[in-house]
Structure 1
Amino acid sequence: MTIDVDRLTERLPGGDAGLIVLLLAILYLAYVVSGVILGFSLRGQLNSIAVLTFFIGVFAMLALALNLHWGYTGLFNIGIVGFMAVGIYVMALFSKPIYQPGSAAQVGGLGLPIIVGMIAGMIAAALLGLVVALPALRLRADYLAIVTIAMSEIVRFTFLSSQFQQFQLFGRRVGFGGGSGVILNYQDPLEAFLSAVGLWNSYLGVVDASQAVVPTNPKPVVDGLVYGGLLLVFVGIYFWLLKRTGESPFGRVLKAIREDEDVANSLGKDTNGFKIKSFMLGCALMGLAGVLWFMGQGAVTPNTFRPRITFFVWIALIIGGAGSNTGSIVGGATFAALLYQGPRYLKNVIEEVLPSASAPSSFGPAVSPLISQGDPLPFVFYTLDSVRQLQLVIMGVVLIWLMHNRPEGMLGHRKETAASIDLSARRARAVADGGDGRTGTGG
């Protein structure tokens, strides 16, 4: 059965926004029901919702940024994680406190506000995008992909290098920590954000009031929920920015480059210049997403930024449908809830529903009854018990299914308006005046 998503969107209040809200409501309801089955307390339910919101936010932001590269401009970037790493490491370099001898952190930073560090991380990711774009955008398709994934690995090994473990910058002892990583001992990011808008004292009042619901140490629970909500605000900002970009003359040129670069070039457009600007903007957004993902984790190490995160983002974009900002959010939310977090919850739910089912400890005892006796249950229980380890296999199966059955993604093919203004009213008026709806004049 094929769902006509465009017709569903037209019927929903709010259009695309209504579709996103409906999907999020379904996903959150599924997690609440899972929590009820697992016997979660209210604190456990709230933590589950906070974690889900966090991953929906980061994957939706990254899918939107990738949509600017691939969906709008046709740039095959599989070095996403490299720009994320540059964003958080440069942010740490700018915003960590100045090194004090005897402190737990072996290196310090420049001691600047977190907001300044975030902006610096975005600028650094954009400049890295420029360095990659200048030679690489002369290449096409697979060659650009090879350059970007090589760049992401170069970034990772650079941060692993002992040469940059510590060094002097503006007379300060700073560094990237090498393989040991960097301790992120700056101001609490949530406090920095809320203090910037004058809401920190009000927030502390909310935390105190929440003790009636979560009696024991409610602040971590409230922090998780509020930070997840803050990430959804950033998703909205990304969506608005890319929607305006796509509807602008700049965005229409990007789409023309995606469809046929030679034609766009023949019309007098500097396609290389447009691609470089698009690439830099997308890289800056990826750097910011990396900052928002890792800035609250206390420490960050280079080996966190392995290529698999890049492929996770690609799967999220493919699920929703490239070229659609709504599809990017839908894909990011679906991936985060069902493929990234879902296997662990599924395993726990099944263990709760079937507590007496014992899974074999290895593959041999699991498959042997299936072959010799035709009994599939040991293999099924073994698979369910190993579902977390089989996560990448599940993702691969889903990706293969999508490629065969719905390569355009969940939202399907969506027509894009080329004009910056709505011409439907003029056409209707022309027909009413006796025209044919094409020229606006009588026949």
Structure 2
Amino acid sequence: MSAGSLGGLDALRERIGEIDRPVLDALMVLGMMLGLYAVFAVVGSVIGFNTTGIFRLLANLTLLTAVYALAVLALNLQWGYAGLFNIGVAGFLAVGAYSFGMLSGSPTGSPPGLGLPLWLGVLGAMLVTSLVGLATAFPALRLRADYLAIATLAISEVIRLTVLSRPASQFTVAGVTLGTGGGQGFRNWPENPIEALFDSPAGDAIMGVFEAVGVTTTPPVEGFVYALVVVLVVGVVYLLLSRTANSPFGRVLKAIREDELVASSLGKDTRAFKVKVFMLGCALMGLAGILWYVYGLNAVEPASFRPDITFYVFIALIIGGSGSNTGSVLGAGLFAGVLFLLPQYLDNLLGEVGFLRGISTPSTFADAVGPLASLDVGPLVGYTIAHVDQMRFVVVGVLLVYLMQRRPEGLLGHRIEPAAAVDLRRRPEGRGAATDGGASGGESDE
């Protein structure tokens, strides 16, 4: 590499280092979303979607990214900051969604609910999820590493099988009839506030704006507005967790993650800290379950909470980098857009551009791998694209192995987070080396 190019890279790094961390993080998230929007707009156009169809696709992308970001942020609080290996995420999503349904569902519905106001149902469901997290934490947090992971996975399956069971489908407590709906699931929701908004004059004004750009039907606009509300919730949670990470509470969590024995020897009640952060993370997972399944998918079924949801959330966190809130959002967007949503349109896209022309698509995996003996990879490529939903775990597994070998810290997991509320390694203007404790005065990753 020439000296001129090296000088250009140094100048670019220096300029990036001059940008404040919050501004840089916002630019990275915004750039990622604009890039995903551009990719999906092109995909929709090639497949043949009209303006409304493309807009619906972008709304789905926004909502999926937002709900994954919320779940990944909650997991990052537990694993990234406190080192608690919770692989029961799907179970806590289920607790939040079902609790909200039972609290705010109509008393005359099937299964019936309590009919509480929407906001009270959300807070109540988060409280219930945190209490389930508390009940989980007391026995499970005595365990470490692999044993804690196995315990949380088992609890997640207990939750899923409980809501699926016949006794839980409808039961009576203190004269009040509630239920989970059993195998049929729960669809007794209060009215979506976004739908109520579009029944008002404000909704007509919003529709007028979108009709000007060619979106003529209401459902995709309602979905996009709801997705923006979820994005706002994610922003609030992001700020909350950022403040938490930089607080004394957050610094104790990082100390527990690095060496719990040392943190305990300094007088910290590490078990109490772990219980608190586990409850907070579970409450946020419950909120993600409400926003995702109740109004995002408008359906809650036991089959929606299989362990693969937990693994998807973990993959997103690994992509972004454990211990970084911004990395959690970036990982959620890349996973939701590139690995989850895009493959659903991949076969149609490649068919439209003629990529699959001349490539056979075998119906069985054996027929696809057989020609590899003669170095013919076409059938395997065709089979993979035609059965991308079934092959998703294979693709995700290959990506996970690659990340573990090439970049185990993820996109932003390499960042250094100082224990102090301010970065003591930056040398103030006009101060000598003794002021900053003898630090070199170099720029911090923080």
Using structure 2 for the length normalisation, give the TM-score: 0.89
Cα 1:429–1:438 change in 2 (3 A) is farther
Change (3 A) 1:175 1:247: same
Larger mean Cα displacement after TM superposition, 232-241 or 253-262: 232-241
Alignment of 1:43-58 (within 5 A): 43-58=52-67
Is the Cα contact below 8 Å between 2:91 and 2:156 reproduced in 1? yes
Task: Output the CA distance in 2 between the equivalents of 1:261 and 1:368.
Answer: 52
Q: Is the 8 A contact 1:78 1:148 kept in 2?
A: yes
Alignment of 1:260-299 (within 5 A): 260-296=259-295, 297-299=297-299
Match in the other structure for 1:139: 143
Structure 2 counterpart SS, 1:15: helix
Aligned mates of 2:26, 2:222 — CA distance in 1:
26
Please give the secondary structure, in 2, of the residue aligned with 1:76: coil
3-state SS of the aligned residue for 1:378?
helix
Counterpart in the other structure of 2:3: none
What is the deviation of 1:427? 5.0
% same residue? 47
- Which consecutive residues of structure 2, in runs of 5 or more, have no partner in the other structure? 1-8, 440-446
Shift of 1:137: 1.0
Q: Which amino acid aligns with 2:247?
A: S
Residue from 150, 154, 159 that aligns with 2:158: 154
- Tell me whether 1:179 sits opposite 2:183 in the alignment: yes
Equivalent runs, 1:299-378 vs 2, <5 Å: 299-354=299-354, 356-357=357-358, 358-372=360-374, 374-378=375-379
Is 1:119 aligned with 2:123? yes
SS of 2:431's equivalent in the other structure is: helix
Specify the alignment match of 2:35 in structure 1.
26
Matched letter for residue 114 of structure 2: L
1:102 is matched with which residue?
A: none
CA distance in 2 between partners of 1:186 and 1:423 (Å): 51
Most deviating of 290-299 and 260-269: 290-299
2:102 and 2:113 in contact (8 A); partners too: yes
Whether 1:86 and 2:95 are equivalent positions in the alignment is yes
Matches within 5 A, 1:405-420: 405-420=406-421
Deviation at 1:424, TM superposition (A): 5.1
The equivalent position to 1:10 in structure 2, one of 12, 17, 41, is: 17
Write the distance in 2 (CA, Å) between the matches of 1:131 and 1:215.
Answer: 48
5+ residue gaps in structure 1?
100-104
**Residues 1:245 and 2:244 aligned together:** yes
CA deviation after TM superposition for structure 1 residue 34, in Å = 1.3
For residue 68 of structure 1, what is the aligned residue in structure 2?
77
CA distance in 1, matches of 2:35, 2:15: 15
Letter in 2 for 1:163: P
**Matched residue of 2:405: which SS?**
helix
- How far does residue 412 in structure 1 lie from its aligned partner after superposition? 4.2
Q: Is the 8 A contact 1:69 1:279 kept in 2?
A: yes
Equivalent-residue separation in structure 2 for 1:8 and 1:20 (angstroms): 19
Query: Counterpart of 1:331 in structure 2: which amino acid?
Result: G
- In the TM superposition, residue 365 of structure 1 has moved relative to its aligned partner by 3.8
> Aligned equivalents of 2:14 and 2:85: distance in 1?
31
1:109 paired with 2:109, answer no
Deviations 1:355-395 (A, max 9, x none): 634523333443444435x4332332222222222111000
After the TM superposition, which of the residue ranges 169-178 and 43-52 deviates more from structure 2? 169-178
Listed one character per residue, the Cα deviations across residues 87-141 of structure 1 (whole Å, up to 9, x for unaligned) are: 0101000111112xxxxx4321111111111111100110001001112111111
Say whether 1:190 aligns with 2:199: no
Q: CA deviation at 1:25?
A: 1.3
> For 2:76, what is the secondary structure of its paired residue?
helix
Q: What amino acid is the match of 1:408?
A: E
CA shift digits 1:377-431 (9 cap, x unpaired): 2332222222222111000000000000000001241100211134356655431
Aligned length: 426
Secondary structure of the residue that 2:250 maps to in structure 1? Answer: helix
Contact 2:426/2:436, CA 8 A, preserved across alignment? no
Residue 444 of structure 2 corresponds to none
Aligned-partner SS, 1:275: helix
Give the match for residue 400 of structure 1. 401
Whole-angstrom CA distance in 2 between matches of 1:265 and 1:80? 27
Aligned-pair distance for 1:16? Answer: 1.1
The answer to whether the Cα contact below 8 Å between 1:126 and 1:281 also exists between their aligned partners in 2 is yes
- Counterpart-to-counterpart distance in 2, 1:312 and 1:74: 19
Q: Is the 8 A contact 1:164 1:178 kept in 2?
A: yes
Q: Which amino acid in the other structure matches residue 282 of structure 2?
A: C
Change (3 A) 1:7 1:190: farther
Counterpart-to-counterpart distance in 2, 1:58 and 1:424: 36
| The 10-residue stretch of structure 1 (378-387 or 23-32) with the greater mean CA deviation from structure 2 | 378-387
Runs of 4+ in 1 over 4 A off after TM superposition: 3-9, 212-216, 424-428, 434-437
Could you tell me how far apart the structure 2 residues matched to 1:258 and 1:394 are? 30
* Aligned position for 1:166: 170
SS in 2 for 1:173: strand
Residues 435/257 of structure 1: CA separation in 2 closer, same or farther (3 Å cut): closer
Within 2, Cα distance between the matches of 1:344 and 1:206?
30
Q: 1:34 to 1:435 in 2, by over 3 A?
A: same
Give the counterpart letter for 1:252 in structure 2: R
Q: What's the offset of the Cα at 1:219?
A: 1.1
Change (3 A) 1:401 1:299: same
For residues 427 and 136 of structure 2, the distance between their equivalents in structure 1, rounded to whole angstroms, comes to 45
Contact between 1:12 and 1:18, CA under 8 Å: does it hold in 2? no
Separation of aligned partners in 2, 1:348 and 1:107: 40
2 CA distance for matches of 1:122 and 1:327? 25
**Aligned residue identity for 1:72:** Y
Once the two structures are TM-superposed, the CA of residue 209 in structure 1 deviates from its matched residue by: 4.8
Any conservation in 1 of the 2:51–2:215 contact (CA below 8 Å)?
no
- State the match for 2:206 in structure 1: 206
